[in-house]
Amino acid sequence: MTKAEIVAEIAQKTGIEKVAIQATVEEFMSVIKESLSEGENVYLRGFGSFIVKKRAEKTGRNISRNTTIIIPAHNIPAFKPAKTFMQEVKKKVK
């Protein structure tokens, strides 16, 4: 499902204009990005958590040049679904 499809479905279910919903969805995503870039996790009860994971420094290989490189420690965004959300998805898949 794409962002446009999400906006269209929310507009259909709520009767709110697509433009307003598009702006809301965009702002929601920008707030989450901002929070994660500042190192803050975002918790949505019953849905899940957008968290910042820390990756340790490690040694990698550049196989085309046959050299080793050091990959510095860095943070990555991750999503951890809530238990109720996971259970609901598992039920639908079966």
Sheet holding 74-81, edge to edge: 42-44, 48-55, 74-81
- Identify the pLDDT of residue 93: 64
Higher pLDDT, 63 or 81: 81
pLDDT digits (tens, 9 = 90+) for 16-59: 999 999 999 999 999 999 999 999 999 999 999 999 999 999 99
| 30 CA to centre of own chain | 11
Token output for 91: 């039920």
- Identify the pLDDT of residue 92: 74
Is 43:18 a contact under the CB 8 Å cutoff? no
- Identify the pLDDT of residue 63: 87
Q: Is the pLDDT of residue 94 over 70?
A: no
CA–CA dist 14, 83 (Å, integer) = 27
